[in-house]
Amino acid sequence: MAGTTEKGKNIILIGFMGTGKTSLGKAAAGKLKIPFLDTDDLIVSREGMSINEIFATKGEAYFRSLETQIIRELQDLEGGHVIAVGGGLPLREENRPLLRKLGRVVYLRTSPPVLARRLEADTTRPILRQGEGSTLEKVERILKEREPKYLDAADIVLENDGSSFYKTAGKLTNIYKKGGEFNDQS
Ligand code: S3P
């Protein structure tokens, strides 16, 4: 694959809303003393409005285009980063090779009941505020559609049911440090 020597440079966290991409990403970046970036934060600060507001006033398609734009721009990053990307970003086919070019892609996987518990009272994710059914039903339905794409984008799958936050953050730091070794095998 082109650019494999660069592949260990960043860690990219993908996965469903509520899997802990942001909290684990921040913890791992802190331990590694490298910067943490979050595509949602970059979009919110660029647009000067919340994700809910962007969806409501400009629509989901506009938000998805911004995601692709951001992931393209991040290709120019220098040095190592931990980058969390929005839960829907890996779904667009053109985004997946961009994610893989950017670094080692880690899919944080969490079971629907745990996700539903975490997301039950959430009001910041427009995707979960639309459609029929309970939070658990929505999570199960959307995750089933998305999981093949997450797996397609991922180099590594890391289970995160939240039982051992620091252990999982430690695994992420190891993946970052061993980036070169992983590259040699890929
Ligand atoms: C989305 C996930 C959110 C955010 C937006 C859409 C999705 O990010 O990008 O609400 O489609 O899964 P998190 O995964 O960080 O919650």
State residue 83's pLDDT score.
98
The CATH superfamily of 10-176 is: P-loop containing nucleotide triphosphate hydrolases (3.40.50.300)
Given the CA of residue 85, which atom of ligand 1 is nearest to it?
15
Given the CA of residue 84, which atom of ligand 1 is nearest to it?
15
The domain ranges of the chain are 10-176
Nearest Cα to Cα of residue 101 among 142, 71, 69: 71
d(CA 142, CA 150): 12
Q: Which residues line the pocket of ligand 1, CB cutoff 6 A?
A: 17, 21, 40, 51, 86-88, 125-127
Burial 70-99 (b: 16+ CB within 10 A, else e): bbeebeeeeebbbbbbbbbbbbeeebbebb
State residue 185's pLDDT score.
32
Average pLDDT, the chain: 90
Given the CA of residue 124, which atom of ligand 1 is nearest to it?
10
Q: CB burial class (10 A; 0-12, 13-18, 19+) of residue 141?
A: middle
Average pLDDT in the 72-83 region? 94
Nearest Cα to Cα of residue 86 among 52, 38, 124: 38
How much distance in Å is there from the Cα of 184 to the middle of ligand 1?
32
d(CA 70, CA 171): 27
Greater pLDDT, 131 or 111 = 111
How much distance in Å is there from the Cα of 40 to the middle of ligand 1?
7
Per-residue pLDDT tens for 126-147? Answer: 999 888 899 999 999 999 999 9
Query: Residue whose CA is closest, atom 8 of ligand 1?
Result: 86
State residue 7's pLDDT score.
47
Mutate which of 106, 123, 127 for ligand 1? The one with the most ligand atoms within 8 Å of its CB, which is 127
Nearest Cα to Cα of residue 13 among 80, 82, 63: 82
State residue 131's pLDDT score.
86
Query: Residue whose CA is closest, atom 3 of ligand 1?
Result: 86
**CB distance 85 to 74 below 8 Å:** no
How much distance in Å is there from the Cα of 125 to the middle of ligand 1?
6
d(CA 121, CA 142): 18
d(CA 11, CA 108): 12
State residue 105's pLDDT score.
96
